[in-house]
């Protein structure tokens, strides 16, 4: 099997999971500085600064960051979950769980930018695509919450 990028490169498992965990923690009203991967509080000053000076920092940049993080993590998850090695499959599970956990943070983007109907529509479509990608993952993977619920009912 091809060697995976578990230790180096821009799209490492650690990098992908870290970005997804960052996304998962987004709260209503928080804006993302995609250059520094930090949170910008929702204040009049920050909104004005972003509008007038920080041309690269916008809701579009945030959307693109989230979209790319999801796509990269999904590609890695598919590759790792398809591996024969236990370690690789564990990394695949970690990626898949991080993808699932990112959903609430992505949902808050719709509330943060609720005044922009097109943006909200794009986020909604992104969430639908995320659900489809999670459903496409190789068999045998289940979110931890679903696995626990199944064990409780047994």
Please write the tens of the pLDDT for every residue from 19-32: 999 999 999 988 88
Q: What is the DSSP letter of 39?
A: E
Quickly state the pLDDT bin for 141 (edges 50, 70, 90).
low
What residues does each domain of the chain span? Answer: 13-153
pLDDT in tens, 24-70: 999 998 888 888 888 887 777 776 766 666 655 688 889 999 999 99
15 vs 150, more confident: 15
Coil, strand or helix: which one is 31? strand
The DSSP secondary-structure symbol of 3 reads P
What pLDDT, on the 0 to 100 scale, is given for residue 85?
92
CA-to-CA separations, 122 to 36, 50, 119, in angstroms, rounded = 24, 21, 5
């Amino acid at each position: 099997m091809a060697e995976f990028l578990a230790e180096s490169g821009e799209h490492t498992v650690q990098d992908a999971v870290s970005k997804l965990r960052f996304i998962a923690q987004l709260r209503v009203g928080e804006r993302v500085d995609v250059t520094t991967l930090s949170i910008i509080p929702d204040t009049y000053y920050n909104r004005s600064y972003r509008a007038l000076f920080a041309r690269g920092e916008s809701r579009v940049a945030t959307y693109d960051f989230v979209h790319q993080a999801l796509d990269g993590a999904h590609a890695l998850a598919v590759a790792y979950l398809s591996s024969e090695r236990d370690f690789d499959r564990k990394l695949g599970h970690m990626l898949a769980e991080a993808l699932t956990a990112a959903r609430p943070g992505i949902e808050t983007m719709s509330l943060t930018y609720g005044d922009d109907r097109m943006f909200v529509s794009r986020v909604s479509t992104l969430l639908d695509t995320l659900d489809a990608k999670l459903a496409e993952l190789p068999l045998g993977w289940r979110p931890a919450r679903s696995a626990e619920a199944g064990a409780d009912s047994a």
